[in-house]
């Protein structure tokens, strides 16, 4: 794979229905620590918790010999998922356990004048930080949709008064990616 290649990846949040996902194009040589930041931005996470990439070559995150995590800062995405169809996973927040599947959909040449990384498309809002993982998120959605639910008002206040689970704005994501 040429050093100036771009990988088109699809990042899908596991165990959430309807699905929440983002289609991104990133430089193939983007290191996993930088990919973590791209995913945080694209999904809407706040980067408040630990994370881990699980790959066929091993687990990568902040180096931790006790846990067996290798240093993500020195490993490019193309080293652990070099081919179309390759899959790795990314777990964010070991308490809530947000697991994301990452699939390489395409390998492309860089387009002149195009800024990478970029978000092409996606679906649905990211769950609020610290809402309890996929099962807590399902309960959260149920509560905010039902004005008679005992936690309705409290949870809406917690998220700032409103939450639209169907909201997605690629243009806003790309603006935030450009400032990273």
C-alpha separations of 108 from 21, 83, 163 in Å: 21, 11, 36
Does the pLDDT at position 3 exceed 70?
no
For the chain, what percent of residues have pLDDT higher than 90? 91
Determine the distance from the C-alpha atom of residue 26 to the mean position of all C-alpha atoms in its chain, rounded to a whole number: 13
Task: Specify the pTM.
Answer: 0.94
What average pLDDT score do residues 119-129 get? 97
Paired with 104 in beta bridges are 9
């Amino acid at each position: 794979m040429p050093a100036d290649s771009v990988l088109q990846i699809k990042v899908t949040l596991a165990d959430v229905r309807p699905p929440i996902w983002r289609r991104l194009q990133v430089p193939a040589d983007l290191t996993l620590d930088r990919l973590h930041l791209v995913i945080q931005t694209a999904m809407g996470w706040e980067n408040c918790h630990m994370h881990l990439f699980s790959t066929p070559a091993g687990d990568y995150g902040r180096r931790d010999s006790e846990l067996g995590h290798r240093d993500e800062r020195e490993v490019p995405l193309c080293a652990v998922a070099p081919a179309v169809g390759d899959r790795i996973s990314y777990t964010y927040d070991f308490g809530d356990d947000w697991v994301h599947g990452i699939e390489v959909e395409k390998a492309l040449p860089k387009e002149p004048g195009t800024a990478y990384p970029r978000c092409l498309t996606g679906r649905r809002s990211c769950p609020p930080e610290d809402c309890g993982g996929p099962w807590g998120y399902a309960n959260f959605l149920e509560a905010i949709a039902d004005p008679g639910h005992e936690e309705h008002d409290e949870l809406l206040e917690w998220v700032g008064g409103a939450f639209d689970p169907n909201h997605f704005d690629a243009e806003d994501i790309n603006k935030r990616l450009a400032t990273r």
